Chain A
């Protein structure tokens, strides 16, 4: 009898929860519908046209913009570079970033100062950091080559920004340099980590690196996934890192989607349909990455 009575009560509670959820979510859903769905619709419509930034006198061109993008090696290179730069920053974040976060969480002296040092690059404008990097690596007058020459290592001085390999390394360093946000993610989740496992490990005589590698690192898996996803998707929003350092060059060797699109948007010509098509393709890629992450996360939750 108790079960028969509690079932309708549960149903009523469920309905009530749904109503509350709808009330609280409806403003956000409305904003989402107006801005996000409209934006995608707008992009889709514009991507089928040849039109300038004023969006006047659009000419319908069907799938031509997508065909041009598929055949444009610079666009493919930009997408590939985004993924490569993301991989570099992910590798740095889940190793060095993780290590720094754990080290700082152990209560070292001047902890706040270290936090400031590591978070600062993420807090100042990326454009500024990238501009400084660009100046530092200038071949003739940059401080990197000047320093190498002054200490007798002039042979190591490079054309950092004009040769594909070094230029790629400079931009990759820039992406990796901005690991402040992953450190913040790790720091926040470390504080919520259950301590009983750590205490047990300590009692069993496990050393610091063993605890870090075998206990903390696996327990932070959800944070790793968040870090990986945010850096992967964040790389597609990257523009300043490239625009203010190498400008995407030499050739298109350091081009990313952001710098690729920016060049076309500011051209003053009838390029907005083309850029809308490119943006849609990038959106689809980002969506695929997000869906893949969702499945990855769901599997992990199920297996627990």
Chain B
């Protein structure tokens, strides 16, 4: 009996404790709320998001934002599964690609946001229209944050200056740079880039688009063929750059980090990558060039939305979530991420804050990026794993294991096989 009394007393204490802690944890109707925000690394990245959250919470002391950053490679699978499992996510970054339709069933239409009209009113109509095209029946389920494009070049102005070579716009000019570096004999490479399949696909589609601007959109939206004569010619031209010594096949096994490190360490004059790397111009004497073309008049790239933001339709804090998104996409938060040049904001008429670009080279480079992204030859609305497969074929052609025609034909076969 003695034992039972103790047990009963303990149960009462524990029960009361649990009840009280439960009451303490439950948010009051108009009290502080916490929202969970999920995104991938680089969109715009932990360091920047931390600054965003600090600024937002300072302006909105009744809202706490908890951020979960998932590596980009795992984001699509992990986030889709988390949403389907009912994970407590309020604000979610949506990758603007085929994945958007995978998660559209979990997203709250922007029309149902408490501030939807206000947010949309601050954004460019073109970026909003692009966002709506991501979803079935063009129902707007997210708002755009910024645009990026690929491919571009970031050059080391010190290296080019020492050689007396101007930033190349054409491949003929780039060959001058390559020859000058060889003559210099310091072992500096003309260019590095990620050798990963997906980026080799970015490069090839950039080159195709310079002479056949409709190529990618035709494949993406109209069921067009991949193995067109223009694609084969682009791949042949790209391979010729390695064959004639303009580029070096020994760099094709560099991954993303390896290529960036080689450039940072001054082992390469140019880093080819996407415009999301433009922030590098703030870290050294670097400038931006378009991805070269045979004819300077044709330099261009594919651009598209890079990050869009949505609200989980099951969120218990929809208003707070909408407020946070407005801050990030159209409010004071824009300056924070835009100032590190992650992308071109979707905000209508946006101007970078004074003091971000301090040198003429930085200003000219940013103008180049804005011009390229504003006049793309196609949408960078990629096709998931197909890009990896097509890029792997590109690499095989560059290494001489297969011909450009075989690479194009194999990619076409994969495109229509249906397993992507």
A residues at B contact (CB < 8 Å): 50, 52-57, 64-65, 68, 71-72, 134-135, 138-141, 159-164, 247-252, 263-271, 274
Contact = CB atoms under 8 A, between A and B. Distances in A.
Contact of A269 (B197, B258, B384): B384
B388 A263 contact: yes
Contacts of B399: 159, 162-163, 250
Identify the 8 closest CB pairs spanning chains A and B, nearest first: A267-B385, A268-B99, A267-B384, A161-B253, A268-B76, A52-B102, A269-B384, A140-B250
Contacts of A135: 258
Given A56-B105, A249-B395, A139 B250 contact: yes
B396 A274 contact: no
Interface stretch (B175-183, B311-319, B353-361, B412-420): B412-420
B97 interface: yes
B401 interface: yes
Nearest to B187: A140
Given A53-B76, A162-B399, A269 B254 contact: no
B152 to A, nearest CB: 22
Contacts of B396: 250-251
B95 interface: yes
Contact of A53 (B73, B77, B189, B258): B77
Contacts of A50: 418
A141 B255 CA distance: 12
Given A134-B255, A271-B420, 18 more contacts: A53-B77, A53-B102, A54-B80, A54-B83, A54-B102, A56-B102, A68-B419, A71-B417, A140-B250, A140-B251, A141-B262, A159-B250, A161-B253, A164-B401, A251-B392, A265-B77, A268-B102, A268-B385
Interface residues of B, number: 46
Dominant secondary structure at the A interface = loop
Nearest to A157: B250
B385 A269 contact: yes
B237 interface: no
Nearest to B267: A141
Contacts of A138: 253-254, 258
Contacts of B401: 164, 250-251
Given A54-B83, A64-B418, A141-B262, A268 B249 contact: no
Nearest to B76: A268
B14 interface: no
B74 interface: yes
B420 A267 contact: yes
Contacts of A163: 399
Interface in B346-366: none
Contacts of A249: 197, 392, 395
B98 interface: yes
Given A54-B84, A268-B102, A140 B76 contact: no
Contacts of B98: 268-269
Nearest to B189: A140
B248 interface: yes
Contacts of A68: 417-419
Contacts of B386: 267, 269
A247 B386 CA distance: 15
A135 B259 CA distance: 12
B252 interface: yes
Contact of B385 (A64, A160, A251, A263): A263
B103 interface: yes
Nearest to A275: B419
A268 B251 contact: no
Nearest to A162: B253
Contacts of A252: 392
Contacts of B419: 65, 68, 72, 264, 271, 274
5 contacts: A54-B105, A163-B399, A249-B197, A267-B420, A268-B97
Given A250-B396, A251-B401, A140 B248 contact: yes
A69 B330 CA distance: 47
A251 B389 CA distance: 9
A228 B95 CA distance: 44
Contacts of B388: 263, 267
Most buried by B among A57, A139, A268: A268
B196 interface: yes
A199 B83 CA distance: 65
Interface string B270-284: 000000000000000
Contacts of B73: 266
Nearest to B248: A140
Contact of A56 (B84, B384, B402): B84
Contacts of B95: 268
Which of A138, A161, A265 neighbours the largest number of chain B CB atoms within 10 Å of its CB? A138
Interface in B234-256: 248-255
A258 B77 CA distance: 16
A163 B395 CA distance: 11
Contacts of B251: 139-140
B189 A266 contact: no
A78 to B, nearest CB: 13
B81 interface: yes
B385 A159 contact: no
Interface in B378-403: 383-386, 388, 392, 395-396, 399, 401-402
A275 B81 CA distance: 16
A64 B419 CA distance: 10
Nearest to B258: A138
Contacts of A54: 80-81, 83-84, 102-103, 105-106
A133 B414 CA distance: 31
A68 B418 CA distance: 8
A267 B198 CA distance: 11
Contacts of B106: 54
A77 to B, nearest CB: 13
A65 B384 CA distance: 18
A266 B74 contact: yes
A179 B98 CA distance: 42
A143 to B, nearest CB: 13
B252 A162 contact: yes
A265 B80 CA distance: 11
Nearest to A51: B102
A266 B385 contact: yes
